[in-house]
Structure 1
Amino acid sequence: MLNVFTLANGRLFQEEIESLEELSRFKPIWVDLEEPTPDEKRWVRQYYGLAIPDDAMDEDIEESARFYAEDNGELHIRCDFLVADAEHPRQVRVAFIMNLVNEAARGHGILFSIHDESVPAFRLLRMRARRMPGLLADAKEVLLKLFDGDAEYSADTLEEIYDELERASKQVLEDNVSDQVASEVLATIARQEDMNGRIRRNVMDTRRAVSFLMRSKMLDAEQFEEARQILRDLDSLDSHTTFLFDKINFLMDATVGFININQNKIIKLFSVASVALLPPTLIASVYGMNFQHMPELTQKWGYPWALGLMVASALLPMWYFRRRGWLK
């Protein structure tokens, strides 16, 4: 899918391109390629003179290949954007190419973005740009707002993690934690720990991209200050992710502790039963020996006495354990 974004009266307008001829009708500041087809890549190459690198979407590339500037003035940035899907959270690799060579001719320069799936930060920027006139002025503003939107999306996801962990805390600390509840809480904690780790990685990656923009000296004074504000927002998210890691570890330890307590209760029942049944077993063993004179054979009270003694020897330890509170 090939979309071009133009500015009109301070608002951002989106147009979906379906042929090479349609590109000539617009002077965009942003060209977005989502799962681009070979034809769409060819249109971009023919009309804008931009050849999209074959490794633009590769995951395994060195840092030097993720942030660099070409001799012709093109700026290349590969950055990961968070997709906080509840079932399959992930990072989506986005390749940015900033073309400022023809900035005087085109008016604002052009930002090209290439990615394989929809990114929430992109949708957030499109929605805001339509509602807020004057939000964007050029391609560099678009790139900064995308990074700002990614930071805000990470912050919103952190708030959702706070809410999920709060519900898990109530289950662990207030209710009677059964094995089933503990397994559900552990599953919730594992999901939120994975999400928190992805947010921390996403924050680190966005910070590196913004820092590269600032070092490139392509930003004016106002944009440079905006980039510094984005870095401050990203730094504030680090403290939240650290706190959440500590909270997750606490809940994990508490939940595992309750599981151990439940298991110890079961082991305690077996221990009490084995101790209580030891005296009757001893008595039965003694009376089962082949003595020459046995009360069971010569006296009528032999068997009742033996049975009563075994019952009494089993009840006495149980009474003692109950009095000491070991059966609670």
Structure 2
Amino acid sequence: MINTFVLRNGRLCQYPASKYHSEDIVPVWVDLVATSDDERAIVENRYGVTLPSHDELQDIEASARYYEAENGHIHLRTDFLLEDDGGPSRVITVAFVLTEDMLFSIHAEDLPVFRLVRMRARSRPGSVADYRDVLLELYATDAEYSADALEGIYQNLESVSQTVLQHQLTDETAAEVLNSIAQEEDLNGRVRGNMMDTRRAVSFLMRGRLLNPSQFDEARQILRDIESLDGHTVFLFEKINFLMDSTVGFININQNKTIKIFSVASVAFLPPTLVASIYGMNFENMPELGWKFGYPIAVAIMIASAVLPLFYFRRRGWLGYSRVVAKGITFA
């Protein structure tokens, strides 16, 4: 799909695909989404630009993300975050080609950042003056999109915190909590990586002296926004580690409860076993031959030797679940 945009009264106006090469128009932005080789060839022949293929988008070295071609066109590769409803987050690589007066973008899937930029440019006249403003608007919107993703992570972690800190965790619930924490940590890492890539791209534009003074100030504001997001990702990372450690700690507590049952049982039944062993090995003077109540008394001693340790453990509180109260939160 080819989306062609021209500037009309400070607004981005999209031309239908049917009029793409039938009218003599000079677009400011040409967006190619999941295009075929034939469609890409049409754009290359129409504007004399060399566009990367989809295979080149996927197989790219870090050193080749920003470079100037022999014809003077600037090539950039930038990762944009994509959150699927009900699925894991992904990073989509977008290739930008900057000519003298046009911006070309090539990506395999349509991105919410691009849709939002198109909507804002139509509703806010004067926000875009040339193709460089479009590119900066994409990067600024990407920072906002990442901020929304971080806000969603925080809300999900708040729900996880209530489950971990206010309920007695079972092994099944702990497994669900760990799965949720792992997903939020993965998204937090992708947001941080996405912001790092956006910072590199904006810095390249600033170092290359491709921006006018007003655009340069806007680029600096984008870098400041990204810097603030970096601090928030660090906070979320620490919160994720805390919840992860707390959940693993509750799993260990549940396991220790099971181990404690076996430990108490082995200690409680050790004296009866000792009594039975001594009674059964008395071959020289066997009590059952001359002692009428030998067996009942031995059984009574065995029962008493088992009950007394259990009574002692009960008095010490070793049989019940320990309860720790801290700042109004009870852990059972």
Q: Which amino acid aligns with 1:224?
A: F
Residue 106 of structure 1 is matched in structure 2 by none
CA contact (8 A) 2:81 2:190 kept: yes
- Look up the match of 1:65: 64
Distance 2:76 2:18 in 1: 26
Cα shift at 1:26: 3.4
Task: Give the letter for the 1:75 counterpart.
Answer: I
User: Could you tell me whether the CA contact under 8 Å between 2:117 and 2:141 is conserved in 1?
Assistant: yes
Q: Distance in 1 between matches of 2:214 and 2:19?
A: 37
**Quick one: which of 194, 199, 203 aligns to 1:202?**
194
- Mapped pair 1:214 → 2:213: no
Distance 1:294 1:16 in 2: 107
**Cα drift, residue 61 of structure 1:** 2.7
Question: Which piece of structure 1 moves more, 217-226 or 2-11?
Answer: 2-11
Structure 1: unaligned runs, 5 residues or longer: 101-108
Q: Report the secondary structure of 1:58's partner residue.
A: helix
Letter aligned with residue 36 of structure 1: T
Contact 1:3 1:33 in 2 (8 A): yes
Report the Cα offset of residue 290 of structure 1: 5.3
Counterpart of 1:96? 96
Structure 1 position 295 matched with structure 2 position 287: yes
Q: SS at the partner of 2:72?
A: coil
Superposition map of 1:1-328 within 5 A: 1-18=1-18, 21-22=21-22, 24-54=23-53, 57-85=56-84, 86-100=86-100, 109-289=101-281, 291-328=283-320
8 Å CA contact retained: 2:78, 2:94: yes
1:238 and 1:308, CA in 2 relative to 1: closer, same or farther beyond 3 A?
same
Distance in 1, Cα, partners of 2:134 & 2:283:
100
Deviation, 1:151, is 0.6
What's the offset of the Cα at 1:160? 0.6
Question: In the alignment, residue 29 of structure 1 is paired with which amino acid?
Answer: V
Larger mean CA deviation between 78-87 and 191-200 belongs to 78-87
Residue 2 of structure 1 aligns with an amino acid whose one-letter code is I
Distance between the aligned counterparts of 1:268 and 1:127, measured in 2? Answer: 63
Q: Give the C-alpha shift of residue 298 in structure 1.
A: 3.0
Q: Secondary structure at the match of 1:87?
A: coil
* Structure 1: distance between partners of 2:226 and 2:122: 25
Partners of 2:312 and 2:148 in 1: CA distance? 57
Q: Matches of 2:118 and 2:265 in 1, distance apart?
A: 69
Asked if 1 retains the 8 angstrom alpha-carbon contact of 2:268 and 2:309, the reply is: yes
Give the deviation of 1:45 after TM superposition: 1.4
Q: Does the 8 A contact of 1:3 with 1:15 survive in 2?
A: yes
CA distance in structure 2 between the aligned counterparts of 1:35 and 1:16, rounded to whole angstroms: 17
Alpha-carbon distance in structure 1 between the residues aligned to 2:26 and 2:16: 13
1:79-120 Cα deviation digits (max 9, x unpaired): 1101123522111000000111xxxxxxxx211000011212
Quote the residue 2:324 is aligned against. none
Letter of the structure 2 residue corresponding to residue 90 of structure 1: R
Q: Percent identity?
A: 58
User: How far did 1:225 drift?
Assistant: 0.4
After superposition, give the CA deviation of every residue in 1:185-207 in whole Å (9 maximum; x if it has no partner).
Answer: 11111111111111111011000
Structure 1 position 210, deviation (Å): 0.4
Measure the CA separation in 2 of the matches of 1:81 and 1:187: 25
Instruction: Confirm or deny: 8 A CA contact 1:20 1:43 kept in the other structure.
Output: no
Moved more, 70-79 or 231-240: 70-79
Match of 2:21, SS state, is: helix
Normalised to the residue count of structure 1, the TM-score between the two structures is 0.92
- Whether the aligned pair in 2 keeps the contact of 1:56 and 1:78 (CA below 8 Å) is no
1:254–1:322 CA distance, 2 compared to 1 (3 A): same
CA distance in 2, matches of 1:126, 1:297: 102
Q: Name the SS for the 2:181 alignment partner.
A: helix
* RMSD of Structure 2 on Structure 1 (CA): 1.7
> What SS does structure 2 have at the residue aligned with 1:78?
strand
The answer on whether the counterparts of 1:59 and 1:93 sit within 8 Å (CA) in structure 2 is yes
Amino acid at match of 2:269: L
Residues 82 and 89, structure 2, Cα contact 8 Å, conserved in 1: yes
CA contact (8 A) 1:57 1:94 kept: no
Q: 1:18 Cα deviation (Å)?
A: 5.0
The list of structure 1 runs, each at least 4 consecutive aligned residues, that deviate by more than 6 angstroms after superposition, is none
